Amino acid sequence: MDNSPIVTVIIPTYNHAHFLKEALSSLLGQTFTDWEAIVVNNFSEDDTVSVVESFADSRIILENFSNKGVIAASRNRGIKLARGKYIAFLDSDDTWFPEKLAKCLVAFVNDVSLVCHGLQWFGDQKRDMFCGPEKRASFEALLDYGNCITPSATVVLKEWVESVGCFSEDPRLVTSEDYHLWLKLAKENIKVYCIREILGQYRIHSGNQSGSVLRHMNASLSVINEFFPKQDVSQNIFTRIRIRRCYCRIYYGAGRAMQHKGQFFRAFPLLFRAIAYSPFFMKSYIAVLVSLVGVVRK
């Protein structure tokens, strides 16, 4: 008799004991109970192990694993150990609402292979963020407009994740490894369903360094460079324009992220790069004015 759970929840963590307790509590509060959770602990130096053990639930498995700074390796370790038909990702600083798993799993009909939903941002910023919609999750749209799916809002068939080689562990893709995976899945034309409902919370941390913005920017550029058509772009003006628009979007996003951190001066070169790649993207000019005002006020 197969006693495998229906869904495996993969929770990578490092020094998040104070958050992990909330994440696991939200998992225990699920109305759907046929799950296992694999907490992949990157040898945390806090009370992570004690927190996991305090729940005393046989469905929660602790796996100590060194990811060497690549969170994709932790997620892949969880996938390798997973017994469930479905994989759900829960970052250790996020939480789910009680109906999350139940509502996602009933959506796997008519060949749907990936289900995502909305998340409520909380912490330093507060707003509702919805994944998708479905037309934005196609391969071409993900390339042209960027990532529209986030791990803690996603449940996916394990067989599909394994078929595309799981997460890339290339260090250059750290912070964008999920975007890379969604593109690999979309390239296989999997069917995505987006639930227009908030089913969890995504924590926005304080104290993030501006260097993380640049790291994510470079990781996003690496993803774009890998997935664009391998034709000679110098002979195809439409592809060249398309790539330049993508670069513009990424530099603009990095510039805006710097502004949100109050780094108005450091936003200038990023926004100017965005303008250089796509001069008709008007938002870049508005963002430059925002930085000018920010610098003057400081």
**232 or 132, higher pLDDT:** 132
Does residue 213 contact residue 258 with C-beta atoms inside 8 Å? Answer: yes
Q: Look at residue 1 in the predicted model and tell me its pLDDT.
A: 60
Query: How many domains are there within the chain?
Result: 2
**pLDDT for position 253:** 97
Least confident residue range of 97-106, 127-136, 222-231: 222-231
The reply to whether 197 and 219 lie within a common domain is no
Whether 217 and 276 map to the same domain: the answer is yes
Cα–Cα distance measured from residue 95 to residue 187, given in angstroms and rounded to the nearest whole number: 30
**Residue 169 sits in the same domain as residue 219:** no
Q: Tell me, yes or no, whether 28 lies in a domain.
A: yes
- Confidence at 208, pLDDT banded by 50, 70, 90: very low
Among 204, 234, 264, residue at a domain's last position: 204
Q: Is residue 2 part of a domain?
A: no
Average pLDDT score, the chain? 94
Mean pLDDT of 116-144: 93
Let me know whether 111 and 246 are in one domain. no
Residues 56 and 141 in one domain: yes
Tell me which residue range forms the domain holding 15: 7-204
Select the more confidently predicted residue: 206 or 202.
202
pLDDT per position as a tens digit, 191-201 = 999 999 999 99
* 222 inside domain: yes
38-52, 117-131, 155-169, 279-293: least confident range: 117-131
CB 257 within 8 Å of CB 213: yes
- In this prediction, residue 296 carries a pLDDT of 86
CATH assignment of the domain containing 272: 1.25.40
Same domain, 79 and 219: no
- 217 and 231 belong to one structural domain: yes
Residues 145 and 270 in one domain: no
Which residue, of 170, 204, 238, is where some domain finishes? Answer: 204
Higher pLDDT, 107 or 123: 107
Q: Residue 125 burial by CB count (10 A; 0-12/13-18/19+): exposed, middle or buried?
A: exposed
pLDDT band, very low/low/confident/very high, at 206 (cuts 50, 70, 90) = low
Provide the CATH number for the domain around residue 116: 3.90.550.10
Last residue of a domain, one of 149, 181, 204: 204
Report the Cα–Cα distance between both ends of the chain, in Å, rounded.
Answer: 67
- Separation of alpha carbons 154 and 146, rounded Å: 17
Whether residue 117 sits in one domain with residue 258? no
